[in-house]
Structure 1
Amino acid sequence: MLRFSNFMFPESRDPARDADVIADCIAEAKLCDELGVEVLWLAEHHFDGNCAYVDPVTFAAAVLAATKRIKVGFAVAQVSLHHPMRLAEQMSLLDNLGRGRVIVGLGRGTAYNVYEYQGYGIPHEEAAERYEEAEGIMLKAWTSPDGFTHEGKHWSLKVPRLRPTPFTQPHPYLIRSASSEEGALHLARRGLPFLMNVQSNETTAKRLALYGATMAEAGYDAAHVARCLDESWVWRNVVVAATDEEARRIGIPAFEAMQEHRKTLREKIYAEQGIIMKHETVPPARVNHEAALIAGSPATVAAKMAEIEATGVGGVICSFRLGPMPADVAAGSIRLFMEEVAPRFANTVAAAAE
């Protein structure tokens, strides 16, 4: 049974409009809650306006207060930019505020925007090792009623019992991101579900098949493999309109403007500093609208979602508001998706009617 969620990643190019875009986000969260969207995923990006609310931890508290049913997930919290104990406390508080409606999605941090690390005074070369150490600390914090000590490369800690204790036991629901095949297979060997970045349906099918096979080779039984696939999510940019032509007229320019804006920012830093974090020899799938954008009528979008369902994955993270797309256009797309696409797969909107 395929599940659907919304990735709220709102662009704000004009600092004078930040407050308006943030207000739009709260309205979008309320709409998603009303329509029965399962999860509202929040991103974390700093300094460039690519994510208007910037701090997903603070913003998650506002969303939880403004909604009743929808889960709030992180896709992802950039762990390498946080002190792990502070982040563990914050996530535990959110878990209590939402009474279990929080999904703690963790990742090392951006692989593209070096200025995020520079702004926080953290060497970007340390991102992966900081993430790995921090994740272990957070799990200890949530599950050590008598406190714990930690001696590591980046933190030396003597921690009393964490308060508030998590509402969800033994700890808030945790999921990790995997942007590469290697990352997905690493989580498969650990028997863990994952969040997958934007890829074509063909790549998704191939990667998920390999993920399941690798998990089986690592000794996990068929039931565990099926559960992990069901708890995993793949990300797609989605625009729904009355006709295919209208959806593409709206979606393609917004998608291309979004990608060009991000590319320009990365190239600006490279021109100024000569630093590039990730060299790409071929254009990645995320920048090709044929591979990374699903735009069409409800019937067309449903057919694409059926292809995703056939891969065995449990959920789709739909990014509806793309780049400079107006909030009302995105809201119309969300409503059309939840009223005419989602019901073809499951009783997704039932929760909204209760």
Structure 2
Amino acid sequence: MTRLDDGRQPMRFSMYVIPQSRGADDDQEIIETQVEHCLRADEAGFDAVYLTEHHFNGFNTYADPFMLGAHLAGQFKQAHIGISVAAVPLWNPLRLVEQCNLLDVLTRGRCIIGLAPGGNPAEAAGLGRDASQRHSLMEETLDVMLRAWDHPDGEKFEYAITHEKGTMAGRVMPASFRRPRPLLARATHTDDTIARAGREGWPVMFGRFEPTAGRAKVDLYRAALAEGGHDDELVRECLDWLAVTQMIHVAETDEQAWAEVEPALEAFRSFGSKPSKDGAGDWAKGSYRGVSGDRETFVNQAVTVGSPDTVAARLQEFADNGVPHVRTMFSFGYAPRERVDRSIELFTSEVMPRFSRRPLEYDLRKADDKVTLGAKASADGTY
């Protein structure tokens, strides 16, 4: 990756918001704190705030990323709102299209909607789904969604999938700001899906991996974008949103940072380590974290901790390996608010200024797939 004329490394930063909760008494304070952190990220120049969807287990306190995104939309000055991710099989397809469109309108096109099959059995069971069918449910639900976005007004629209069926006599309301649909992305670590996304012109949201592993995945994605024959603007936008996730903690020294963060890391790693009472599943096996249970592997893939110098050096490793965008997690594992606040302050004041970025400037109202991305699903429906 080429450095800028002033010597700074080009890099984008977003804030990924996924706070754990110990119980009902904590929920309101946690949500209020996360809203404050999101507004702070917008003021500090983060490119986006990413919100996620999890249910029934305390892993993500606010549960509904679209509702929280709508709350933030009218308060943000410049940041995009990202959904990372909507668990597609858990939704009625037309209802999800409506939610995506409304968020797109409220942000005036400054949103990116990540889609994935999900996979936690307890969440699927709570919403009447079979997690073992998540890939086929993803395929059929996404197919209906894409057809609905392309459906002309005034014509009857019928659909029937495993858990849902219906007839739409009117139109999806509201229409998206970005035409003909919001910016869609695929969350994946799988090489085949990464390659398909590149060929079809979808942005990709990665989870966590160490920098050199990032090089191989980014190279695969870039090659697939080239194979797809997309124009320069689409390729640039796809690469702008190509992101890896890192759990971040910054303190004045490396020693202080690790001493502060260790309890939060262990709480995060052990979260949900016991199977649910109904035997629905054990999600300590990496289904959410995307890392193995081995602590060393987890730290190498998922964690960037230290002084501002150390954190900046680690982030530069990602940049040097072709990763243009890092999604930062600051709140995790019940970390005390004052430590998280100080970490964010150090990151925004002493780490971010060492990097630079150009504005995210696109014609969001342009009515063709050149900027809308996600023109069609893959042939086998896995994205």
Shorter-chain TM-score: which interval? Answer: 0.7 to 0.9
Q: 1:275 and 1:6, CA in 2 relative to 1: closer, same or farther beyond 3 A?
A: closer
Report which of the two has the higher share of helix.
Answer: 1
User: What is the RMSD of the two structures over their aligned residues, measured on CA atoms?
Assistant: 2.7
**Deviation (angstroms), 1:98:** 1.8
Take 2:225 and 2:47, find their aligned partners in 1: how far apart are those partners? 27
Take 1:145 and 1:313, find their aligned partners in 2: how far apart are those partners? 39
Alignment of 1:236-251 (within 5 A): 236-251=246-261
Q: Of 110, 130, 151, which aligns to 2:137?
A: 130
Structure 1: which 5+ residue stretches go unaligned? 350-354
Equivalent residue, structure 1, for 2:366 = none
- For residue 113 of structure 2, give the secondary structure of its aligned residue in structure 1: strand
Q: Of 27, 50, 67, which aligns to 1:18?
A: 27
Q: Is the 8 A contact 2:52 2:85 kept in 1?
A: yes
The residue type equivalent to 1:192 in the other structure is W
The residue type equivalent to 2:262 in the other structure is I
Take 1:98 and 1:215, find their aligned partners in 2: how far apart are those partners? 27
Q: Is the 8 A contact 1:61 1:97 kept in 2?
A: yes
Q: Of 334, 340, 351, which aligns to 2:350?
A: 340
Q: 1:219 and 1:77, CA in 2 relative to 1: closer, same or farther beyond 3 A?
A: closer
**Deviation (angstroms), 1:76:** 0.3
Q: Deviations over 1:56-89 (max 9, x none)?
A: 1111111223333221111101111111111111
Q: Deviations over 1:21-71 (max 9, x none)?
A: 111111111111121111110011111111110111111111223333221
Take 1:274 and 1:168, find their aligned partners in 2: how far apart are those partners? 39
Q: Is the 8 A contact 1:137 1:150 kept in 2?
A: no
Take 1:225 and 1:70, find their aligned partners in 2: how far apart are those partners? 21
Equivalent residue, structure 2, for 1:33 = 42
Equivalent residue, structure 1, for 2:292 = 283
Is 2:150 the counterpart of 1:143? yes
Q: Is the 8 A contact 1:193 1:231 kept in 2?
A: yes
Q: Is the 8 A contact 2:15 2:329 kept in 1?
A: yes
Q: Of 80, 83, 93, which aligns to 1:84?
A: 93
The residue type equivalent to 2:302 in the other structure is A
**Deviation (angstroms), 1:227:** 5.0
Take 2:284 and 2:305, find their aligned partners in 1: how far apart are those partners? 29
Take 1:181 and 1:255, find their aligned partners in 2: how far apart are those partners? 28
Q: Of 335, 341, 346, which aligns to 1:331?
A: 341
Q: Of 107, 121, 128, which aligns to 2:128?
A: 121
Equivalent residue, structure 1, for 2:275 = 268
Q: Which is worse superposed, 181-190 or 143-152?
A: 143-152
Equivalent residue, structure 2, for 1:176 = 186
Take 1:209 and 1:31, find their aligned partners in 2: how far apart are those partners? 33
Q: Which is worse superposed, 71-80 or 122-131?
A: 122-131
Q: Which is worse superposed, 339-348 or 85-94?
A: 339-348
The residue type equivalent to 1:202 in the other structure is T
Give the aligned length: 342
**Structure 1 ranges of 4+ moved more than 4 A:** 221-227, 274-280, 284-287
**Deviation (angstroms), 1:285:** 7.5
Q: Is the 8 A contact 1:9 1:50 kept in 2?
A: yes
Q: 1:42 and 1:221, CA in 2 relative to 1: closer, same or farther beyond 3 A?
A: closer
Q: Of 97, 100, 103, which aligns to 1:94?
A: 103
Q: 1:137 and 1:240, CA in 2 relative to 1: closer, same or farther beyond 3 A?
A: same
Q: Deviations over 1:170-217 (max 9, x none)?
A: 21111110133333233234332200011111221122223333444x
- For residue 75 of structure 1, give the secondary structure of its aligned residue in structure 2: strand
Is 2:218 the counterpart of 1:208? yes
The residue type equivalent to 1:249 in the other structure is A
Is 2:76 the counterpart of 1:70? no
Length-normalised TM-score, structure 2? 0.81
Q: Is the 8 A contact 1:255 1:289 kept in 2?
A: no
Structure 2: which 5+ residue stretches go unaligned? 1-9, 360-383
Q: Is the 8 A contact 2:121 2:280 kept in 1?
A: no
Take 1:173 and 1:219, find their aligned partners in 2: how far apart are those partners? 18
Q: Is the 8 A contact 1:285 1:292 kept in 2?
A: no
Equivalent residue, structure 2, for 1:352 = none
Q: Is the 8 A contact 2:21 2:30 kept in 1?
A: yes
Is 2:113 the counterpart of 1:104? yes
**Deviation (angstroms), 1:221:** 6.3
- For residue 238 of structure 2, give the secondary structure of its aligned residue in structure 1: helix
Is 2:264 the counterpart of 1:254? yes
Q: Of 318, 322, 334, which aligns to 1:308?
A: 318
Q: Which is worse superposed, 248-257 or 74-83?
A: 248-257
Length-normalised TM-score, structure 1? 0.87
Q: 1:257 and 1:54, CA in 2 relative to 1: closer, same or farther beyond 3 A?
A: same
Take 1:4 and 1:285, find their aligned partners in 2: how far apart are those partners? 27
Take 1:145 and 1:57, find their aligned partners in 2: how far apart are those partners? 25
- For residue 158 of structure 1, give the secondary structure of its aligned residue in structure 2: strand
Q: Is the 8 A contact 1:5 1:37 kept in 2?
A: yes
Q: Which is worse superposed, 243-252 or 151-160?
A: 151-160
